[in-house]
Chains A and B, each alone.
Chain A
């Protein structure tokens, strides 16, 4: 049986019907990993141990018990966690097993997977290009089909960005919907774990498993999680908000494909409404300050004493962030930077809440351009932040959002569209995405991507 491109739910059904065995399943993926990983550099650690569970790829910033976890930094080169993150624990308890830990920007600092201390991951669509980041390894693992699905984490754009550049589905849940326990902290007030998948159904299914209150994370929500997959394909027409500021500086081809998608949404019976949102540039400033502050604090524990490797192993990006973060909360600076950023954050939240009275979701391109060549990022300071400009407002506000493919550009690189929903309304954005998937099959983007790695 050719398993190529089978979704998690399809695999589950094949197993249940005894069409394939777990052994065959693992043989299949381990063989592919052996073949393609050296080319793509997707995995930092491969778990070559077959289980009677469905393999899943997990970003290397989730602590996995007895499996090396590095956050792609040499500081943690030989760190083997004695405990399991809540996300991986819930996956393991529900029939999944980690097949490998995926590459990422070191400490998730970046949008290209190039700051990894273990060399960048290559974009499976073009090996000269970046897969996006920081969950670049997870997105690449899915589109090259080295795993049927992957877990990533997002602080601002780190799931949606690589999903867009690799042509897969990336879901960033509401902040607090999925526990952060065991996720190596980057920006604690922003970090969200989420799935990267080949189908919307898979995204809904995985979210169902990992979401919900966790008594090990005080910021996880008490709100009951929902049966997201039951809600898919609900006949519902939505009002979709579009803001001009979210199309500013967006590449023409990207804009064109997103506009074509908007036409399809209209045809499907959804209404489009122009809205005015706070310019996303404010989110960049807020995000940069808050994230740097939290980074400077969260990395303080890697003092060169406890994990066996010296602090010399921190590279430029981490050091810059720590310095900037430490500065912004040092004596006399707190009010001018941190406090102000929190105030603007509140304004951004209020702005979204206002607009969500008029519209059900906000639609925009996920990334302003398609995948960049490796090395481009280094040329510009804060380039990552600029790349993530469209993803940052939702991240700063803690709103749920999804990215899915809407076509390829002339270089055969995927273009992503994102939907941002109201707090805890993952089911709505998943429902609309599913409707769109049924209507368009994402223009065959996912299929084309996987076929590049057939055999």
Chain B
């Protein structure tokens, strides 16, 4: 059979660690990165006898904000549930999560491709839960660090709408940009504040015809494989492509891939079996009795206002600044850079008006300077604008002055002149340098060379 006869079906589970000041259910500081193990813990996040969780309001608000940005429907009634399983990094023997009434459902992210193409990927649910501690394996021993225990974690579950690893990557990139615009998480895969677990299965298509009947797509395979430990953007494509390939090979042998959880080994570039999931897990969910249900009125939900999101900003750049698509896209990928661009652009426009300078499509020119890193972004706005002006202004050369200086340099450097005339090409550049230095760079190099050439040859 041809590969065309197989359709990968991929759904995503994404965890986002919110960057609130305190943890999800206690007052402990949330920023644990690089802190001494078990230094940011309390009875609550250690699950000590008698300790009780009190939800972090900011985390709930941010989850609503994020869900709104993902075009979700925010539920008026939501509650926390206990999800039971045994693992040493889970101090209470259950995780406080959300089961049948998450904060939000039914959203989507649109991905815009070249040539005006767009794809929509549906989001099934967005819920809030707590992170676990961290196991550190050291030879024979395993140590537990509970600094991460109880951090607020948003789980985003998509519909199985993906067929290509490339789309997954694009989706994640878009999600990351949105989250960073909202400033609710660092969304850093390498540091674990954004984690991806794709569920992958392969559908065998009955027809050779690529035009699929809808019911054929709706009918999902009877198994799925969850892939864990993809801890870098670089590996998203690799891990999924490997797993798709692996499953197709099994199907081609006429066998059925096993329902299981597999880990991704980034060194070998393969996935390996971690845990069989032949039987469905029974987490014995039930409503968390320690936390009253949450009720959100329509007004409260309305009150959560979204900032301008990357795609809207991109559109505005096309419209208001007449930027080319590529620069508009690149600039708006990072909110800080986009903000910087707008500040520089504003200042530049007023400055150039004051000096009655005329530059064609100066916004695009500034966009180019930023995108191509022609000027360091570490400069402050004023310094950047000044540099941009010198770079972008066509230089009017004072011909008289230039001639005068060249005269001076030629008399002072007779040796270089004769060297050049004797065929030492380098000598000319030395002279150019001398002239430029004398004029403190206020002339175009091109003109200096031209003028020098004429004079030295003659």
Contacts and interface: CB of A to CB of B under 8 A. Distances in A.
The finding on whether chains A and B are genuine partners in a shared complex, rather than unrelated, reads yes
Interface of A: 61-63, 69, 71, 76, 79, 81-83, 85, 180-185, 188-189, 215-219, 293-294, 296-297, 299-303, 305-306, 326, 329-331, 334, 338
Contact of A79 (B49, B82, B88): B49
B94 A300 contact: yes
Contacts of B112: none
B54 A303 contact: no
B50 A303 contact: no
A62 B292 CA distance: 23
21 contacts: A63-B43, A69-B49, A81-B50, A83-B43, A180-B50, A180-B52, A182-B50, A184-B49, A217-B290, A218-B291, A219-B289, A297-B82, A299-B93, A301-B49, A301-B91, A303-B86, A303-B93, A329-B286, A331-B280, A331-B284, A334-B286
Nearest to A189: B289
Contacts of A326: 284
B53 interface: yes
A297 B43 CA distance: 17
Nearest to A79: B49
Contacts of A215: 54
Nearest 7 A/B pairs, CB to CB: A300-B93, A188-B289, A189-B289, A182-B50, A184-B49, A329-B284, A63-B50
Interface string B87-117: 0100111100000000000000000000000
A306 B49 CA distance: 11
Interface residues of B, number: 28
Given A219-B291, A299-B93, 11 more contacts: A82-B43, A184-B49, A189-B289, A216-B54, A218-B53, A296-B284, A297-B82, A303-B86, A303-B93, A306-B91, A331-B280
A217 B54 contact: yes
A218 B52 contact: yes
B84 interface: yes
B433 interface: no
Contact of B92 (A83, A300, A331): A300
Nearest to A62: B50
A324 to B, nearest CB: 12
Given A297-B93, A300-B93, A184 B50 contact: yes
Nearest to B54: A218
Interface in B41-88: 42-43, 47-55, 82, 84, 86, 88
B282 interface: yes
Contacts of B86: 300, 303
Contact of B286 (A218, A297, A301): A297
Given A62-B50, A329-B286, A300 B84 contact: yes
A237 B91 CA distance: 52
Interface in B315-334: none
Nearest to A180: B52
A218 B290 contact: yes
B227 to A, nearest CB: 25
A62 B49 CA distance: 9
B285 interface: yes
A446 B195 CA distance: 64
Nearest to B53: A218
Interface residues of A, dominant DSSP: loop
Contact of A218 (B42, B55, B84, B280): B55
A303 B84 CA distance: 13
A218 B49 CA distance: 16
B292 A182 contact: no
Contacts of B289: 188-189, 219, 294
A219 B286 contact: no
B43 A188 contact: no
B88 A81 contact: no
Contacts of B43: 63, 81-83, 182
A150 B92 CA distance: 29
B48 A83 contact: yes
A181 B52 contact: yes
A322 to B, nearest CB: 11
Contact of B94 (A71, A181, A183, A297): A297
B84 A297 contact: yes
A296 B292 CA distance: 20
B52 A216 contact: yes
A181 B280 CA distance: 35
Given A331-B280, A331-B282, A301 B50 contact: no
Contacts of B92: 300-301
Contact of B88 (A184, A300, A305): A305
B224 to A, nearest CB: 18
Interface in B273-305: 280, 282, 284-286, 289-292
A62 to B, nearest CB: 7
A90 to B, nearest CB: 15
Contact of A330 (B53, B54, B91, B282): B282
A83 B52 CA distance: 13
A301 B51 CA distance: 12
A85 B43 CA distance: 11
Contacts of B284: 296-297, 326, 329-331
A237 to B, nearest CB: 36
Interface string B431-447: 00000000000000000
A217 B43 CA distance: 13
Contacts of B282: 330-331
A328 B155 CA distance: 27
B203 to A, nearest CB: 27
B286 A71 contact: no
Contacts of A297: 82, 84, 93-94, 284, 286
Nearest to A176: B292
Contacts of A183: 50
A184 B291 CA distance: 16
A222 to B, nearest CB: 11
A329 B82 CA distance: 11
A300 B51 CA distance: 14
Residue among B47, B92, B280, B284 with most chain A CB within 10 A: B284
B289 to A, nearest CB: 4
Contacts of A329: 284-286
Contacts of A299: 93
A85 B50 contact: yes
A372 to B, nearest CB: 30
A308 to B, nearest CB: 13
B54 A293 contact: no
Contacts of B52: 180-181, 185, 216-219
A296 B93 CA distance: 10
Nearest to A217: B52
A71 B54 contact: no
Contact of A301 (B53, B93, B291, B292): B93
Interface in B232-266: none
